[in-house]
Structure 1
Amino acid sequence: QGETACLIAVRKGRFIWWFSVGDVVLYLFHPDLMKMGQAALNERQFYEWIGRANAFALPVPSYTRGVRELRQGDNRLFVTTDGLLECPGTPYVEAMQIDKALQSGGVEELLATIEALGVRDSTTVVTWTVTIDERVTQPSDT
């Protein structure tokens, strides 16, 4: 109805950069991070939009940005809109639930589940895997 959210992610080497306005989430699924319960790279921002109401056009623009080093091995990057996160029954409100579904049935499982539960909002999902062979930053006690 006049506004949208935006998330741009760029990877170079073992680093991911992101820029976000609004209600879109970028996750990084990797076994090392999942053991620590860490997956979301940004937070949903409920009162930011681009469009008629435009947080990016404020005297001081409102947005989120960040940089993260990926982990050694396979890193699954996953972007989703609020339709997946706010589906009735909230099957994917937690990052662990999304990761489990991706491992068992992939994106097809995610979409079939929310369709069966009567998802109310549009849902966009973009996912890709990046394999990092080079050595990455590790704690000094390992």
Structure 2
Amino acid sequence: SLLSGSIKETFKGIDEKVLQIFQSPEFLASCRKVKGSTSCLIVLRKDKFIWWFSVGDCILYLFHPELEKLGQNQVNQRHFFEWIGQVNTFELLVPCYSYGRKELRKGLNHLFLTTDGLIECPGLPYDQPGKIQKEFLDRSNEFALESILKKIQSQNVRDSTTIISWFVDNDQEASLPCN
């Protein structure tokens, strides 16, 4: 029901709802029983806006020509000492996480979520956003993802790698600076 509300209601309520889940006594008790810990990245898009919630070492990229010209592809910051699980950021007196909101640019926007396995693969084939984006030039999303996964497998990637990638064609004007 939260996602079916207006844009303002959704973006106001999502912060509260996610924190409510991660700080609930039931969730925290379940986490204490888990062996190990993990990172978490949640991304929501509604209309021409995205919202993200990040704990740990996952990355959200937003590829668009206007952003590329400014070298601004990475949306969130990696945080090496945040986790959810047996060791849990939400067990601290002050939980540590990051979240934010961003307006999509007009035209084709490419949202790309990944774990650290991709960018830390031996040989560093994807340590820079431009190397990832290059795989999608004149290729379908599926073909580009298959190519990326085959490359890191052939280079004996050490960590597991999760990737979520999708495109949003925004036909609405985006904010521009005034002159």
TM-score range, shorter chain: over 0.9
Residue 17 of structure 1 aligns with which residue? 51
SS at match of 1:83: helix
- Counterpart CA distance in 2 for 1:58 and 1:139 is 40
Task: Give me the TM-score of the superposition, normalised by structure 1.
Answer: 0.95
Contact residue 77 and residue 128 of structure 1 kept, 8 A? yes
Structure 1 pair 91–108 and aligned structure 2 pair: CA distance change class (3 A): same
Quick one: which of 163, 170, 178 aligns to 1:132? 170
1:115 aligns with 2:149: no
One-letter identity of the residue aligned with 1:21:
V
Any idea what the Cα deviations from partners look like across 1:56-98, whole Å, max 9, x if unmatched? 2211000010101000001000000011010001111111111
1:75 aligns with 2:109: yes
Aligned residues: 141
Any idea what the Cα deviations from partners look like across 1:12-47, whole Å, max 9, x if unmatched? 111100000000000100011011111010011100
**Structure ranking higher in strand proportion:** 1
SS at match of 1:113: helix
SS at match of 1:9: strand
Residue 60 of structure 1 aligns with which residue? 94
User: Which is higher, the Rg of structure 1 or of structure 2?
Assistant: 2
Task: Answer 1 or 2: higher relative contact order, Cα 8 Å, separation at least 6.
Answer: 1
Task: Give me the TM-score of the superposition, normalised by structure 2.
Answer: 0.76
Contact residue 25 and residue 81 of structure 1 kept, 8 A? yes
- Counterpart CA distance in 1 for 2:146 and 2:72 is 24
One-letter identity of the residue aligned with 2:85:
G
Residue 30 of structure 1 aligns with which residue? 64
1:7 aligns with 2:56: no
Q: CA deviation at 1:104?
A: 5.1
- The two structures, once aligned, show a CA RMSD in angstroms of 1.1
Residue 27 of structure 2 aligns with which residue? none
- Counterpart CA distance in 2 for 1:110 and 1:102 is 10
Q: Which runs of 5+ in 2 are unaligned?
A: 1-34
**Structure ranking higher in helix proportion:** 2
1:99 aligns with 2:137: no
Contact residue 21 and residue 56 of structure 1 kept, 8 A? no
Q: Where does structure 1 differ by over 3 angstroms across 4 or more consecutive aligned residues? A: none
